[in-house]
Structure formats: C-alpha cells, structure tokens
A and B are shown apart, each in its own frame.
Chain A
C-alpha cells in the first residue's frame, strides 16, 4: 500500500517538475519564480517518495 502511494506521489512530482516549465514556455505561466518554486518542491518530494519503492528495485 505504502509502495503504491509512494509511486503515485513520485509520478505526480515528475509531472509537477516539468509541467510548469512547459506552461511557462506556452505563456500560460508568466512568473519564472513560480516555476522555480514548483520545481524545487517537486524535487524534494521526489527524493523522499521515489526511494520508498525504487531503492529495493535497484538492488
């Protein structure tokens, strides 16, 4: 169960990591600061959630 939740959270993180910059490119987001903030939050949560299921998978 925990593994499933971690997987879903980490996938959301990857989406949050790339979507703001894509929206920034299209002009839907005008503030680069918001993009940077979203990216660092997604980064932190990714490195918390991903190891919960990827650590064992990798050996």
Chain B
C-alpha cells in the first residue's frame, strides 16, 4: 500500500510525477498550484510507471500479506481476488481519477477548494493528517520489528492492542524518533534514497516469495514440476482457507477483491491522484498504476504471506505477524535491511504529508516543528500494535473516510451542469464552506459507520454503496441550497 496523499494547503504543494509524489511535494514551487498545468509541463508515460511501481511496494505490504493468511484466505480466493481487485483499482484510476485530472489539470487541493470552500478543505486536511499519523505509525511498527531481531525483547502478538514490553516501546521510540527527525531535517535526502532503494526492494520482496516457496517444498516434500503441482502445494500447505486465526475476520474472494480495490481508495476514487495525473498527456496514462498494483499489491503481498504461512506451518501456535523476524529467517540480513528501509522510506513521506496537512491549521508553526510533532504522534501510534495488527480494517476505514469527497468531485465535474446546477459552487458563491459537500461527507460517514457498527455490512464493502449515497446526497442538497439562494437573490 503506498503512502497516501491528500489535499495540501496552498503553501507549497507541487507534485511532479517525474519524481515520486512525496519528493515533488517537497519542491518549493508555486508552479501550477492554483492554475491548470500548461502543455509544456506535461510528462511522458514512463514517468508514471516507475513512480507507481516504487510507491506501492511499501513497508505495509509486509503486514498485509500475512494478515490475509491470518484471515483464513484460500489460494483461489487470494489469487483471483487480487487479480480482479487490482484490475478494478487500475480501472478506477483510469476511468474516474485521470479523466478529470487531464481535463481540469488542477491539484486536488485547488479542485476541492473551488467546490467545497477553504474551511471544509482544512477539515479534510485534518482528517487526512490524522490518518497519515496512524498509517506512519504502522510503518514505524514494521521497522521496529526488525530491531527485535537484534535485541531480545517481547514483541506484540497478533491480538495485542497495547505495547507489551518496555523493550518494544524503546525500540519504536528509537526508530520513530530517527524517522521523525530525518523527515523534519533531511526529507529530500530520504526521498532520493527511497528512489534508489525501490528496484532493490522489489527484488527482495520477490526473493521472499521464491525462498518461501522452496521452504514449503522442502517441508512438505512436494514435487513441483508444473503449474498444477504448484497450485496443489499452495492449496494444501500455504493458503489453505478454513477458519481465520482468533480475532481475525474471515476473508473470502469478495473480501480480497474489495480490499485490493479499495486499499488505495483515497488515491483513485477519493481523487488524491488528481494532483499526479494532471501532468499526464493522456488519461490512459493511468494504466501505469498497474505497475504498482501488480508489483506491490500482488507479488509483494503474496510473497509476504508465504513467509507467514511458513511460520505457521512450522509452528501453528506462532501467530505473531512480525515482518522483521520473518524476513530475517528467509533472507537473512538483506531481509532485515529490507524491512527497515521499507518501513522507513514510506513512513518518511507519510509523516511529512501529515505535517503539511496539519500546517494548514497551525500556520504559525514552522514546517520543521510541525513535522517533528507529527513524527512524535506517529511514533506514539506505532507503539500501539493495534493499527498494524488490524491494518486490513484500518485501511478500509481510511478509504471510507475520504471516499465521499471523491464522489463530490466526480459528480461536481461531470453532472452538475447537466443537472442545471452550478459546479465549483464555493468559488462562485465565495463561500468558505459548501454545506452540500460538507453534509455529503458527514452524512455518508455517519450512515456508513452505522451500517458497519450494526453489522449490516462489513467495513470492507461499505464504501461502494457509500460512494453512490454521497453522490446522491451532494446533488440533492446542492439543488436545495442553490435553488434557495437563487430565489433569495432574485
């Protein structure tokens, strides 16, 4: 899962896909922040391929893959679910996000500001910033599990929600502290380093899978001569299906499909990547996201899940999802370095972005201070294994939280004028808070939350009906507000 990105305040968010999003964000430039990207600044297709492939092979992949195994997924459900879900994610980028991006050529922030008004966008940034903190916390958790290989302290188990040892707290504090300081001081250096690490990291992930497969062949004494034999090995020993581990939700084909589709919901359906694809010459360039999906969210998840399945095969009682020890057993020091770097290089831009989001609210604080405080918050979050161990649910929640705003942008761009309503209403009415957009967001969240809490629908699926609900609410309330204001003004 790539570190997501949200709307940024207008004080310095310029994203250029020729470098990764997080690096582009750092570039202090006022270019095209509040105007469409001009023709001469557009980028070629290959600029997007590397960016997506690198960004979606992150530290969190090392948690998500094993959690699929913990959820009792079967081989058929996993493979077909990932193939379909990732295809749907790519199509979401291609058909929902990129067509708007290449027509409007505006940042998400400016697009939202025109529709929602500055105050509502600030609220959106706050929500984004908080979620970034938790996500960065999960990445710090991943990196800290590598420290546990060197220092023998008790690490959290699959069902742990709170820190379970002083050693763990100190390890997370040390890792998170370093990440926060580096994000505040040397952000660009780490961003560059992340680019260099990306090809190496992808291959280490692949190596996890290859080594894990051989280990399974050795312990099961299975002969693998063809694809059929491989499938049988996977079905009988690796992804056996059946009941999930205690405290986990059972994952079916549909769970895997929807998770793969929605785990980056904030980016495609939620429209965060408007800021990226505004640089694309053609909307079909969004097919480049397939590089990220099928490298990070297919190969990397499968590889990471093999490591955990092997651990369970050797000792069914060892249900701890700890990327550090798992990677070390498979690939030695290189695996351990991969865990640290994967967590670090993805936590770094996430903390930075959270800082940007918060800075929209605390203008007087320096970027350095905000990033440092944000890093401290993320570190505290990382001490609690709840986020990392419940990452599947958290990612679904993250998508649900930002999805309504994607629906608002989509409807506003394509349908408002056709319905006889005014698009970009906040800009036209000079309102800092478009009530229609605000209510579409809040009411949708309230309804989705109620549906999930009352057990009517699981959080993994609720965002699909939620999107349509948000779209309808936005249109209806916009109609009421705009007609009333029309009547008042005449």
Contact B207 A17 (CB under 8 A): yes
Near A by CB (< 8 A), chain B positions 164-217 give: 188, 191-192, 195-197, 199-200, 203-204, 206-207, 210-211, 213-215
Contact B203 A18 (CB under 8 A): yes
Residue B19 is within 8 A (CB to CB) of chain A in the complex: yes
Q: Which residues of B contact A35 (CB under 8 A)?
A: 207, 211, 331
Contact B213 A43 (CB under 8 A): no
| Contact segment of B91-99, B263-271, B314-322, B332-340 | B332-340
Contact A50 B203 (CB under 8 A): no
Residue B23 is within 8 A (CB to CB) of chain A in the complex: yes
Q: How far, in Å, is B409 (CB) from chain A's closest CB?
A: 30
Near B by CB (< 8 A), chain A positions 45-59 give: 46-47, 50-51, 54-55, 58-59
**Which of the residues A21, A43, A55, A58 comes within 8 Å of B211, measured between beta carbons?**
A21
Q: How far, in Å, is A48 (CB) from chain B's closest CB?
A: 11
Q: Which residues of A contact B215 (CB under 8 A)?
A: 32
**Which of the residues B23, B200, B213 comes within 8 Å of A17, measured between beta carbons?**
B200
Contact B210 A39 (CB under 8 A): no
Contact A22 B333 (CB under 8 A): no
Count of A interface residues, CB-CB < 8 Å: 26
With A36-B333, A42-B334, A59-B23: A25-B214 Cβ-Cβ less than 8 Å: yes
Q: How far is the CA of A57 from the CA of B26 in the complex (A)?
A: 16
Residue A8 is within 8 A (CB to CB) of chain B in the complex: no
Contact A39 B200 (CB under 8 A): no
Q: DSSP class of B's interface residues: helix, strand, loop or mixed? A: helix
Q: How far is the CA of A11 from the CA of B196 in the complex (A)?
A: 12
Q: How far is the CA of A35 from the CA of B210 in the complex (A)?
A: 11
Residue A12 is within 8 A (CB to CB) of chain B in the complex: no
Contact B203 A17 (CB under 8 A): yes
Q: Which residue of A lies closest to B207 (CB)?
A: A21
Contact B196 A18 (CB under 8 A): no
Contact A21 B210 (CB under 8 A): yes
Q: How far, in Å, is A34 (CB) from chain B's closest CB?
A: 10
Q: Which residues of B contact A42 (CB under 8 A)?
A: 334
Q: How far is the CA of A47 from the CA of B197 in the complex (A)?
A: 8
Near A by CB (< 8 A), chain B positions 1-40 give: 19, 23
Contact B214 A55 (CB under 8 A): no
Contact A39 B332 (CB under 8 A): yes
Interface pairs A-B: 3 shortest CB-CB: A36-B332, A39-B334, A21-B207
Chain A residues packing against B (C-beta within 8 Å):
13-14, 17-18, 21-22, 24-25, 27, 32-33, 35-37, 39-40, 42-43, 46-47, 50-51, 54-55, 58-59
Known: A32-B211, A58-B19. 8 other contacts (CB 8 A): A14-B199, A18-B206, A25-B213, A33-B332, A39-B334, A40-B337, A42-B334, A58-B23
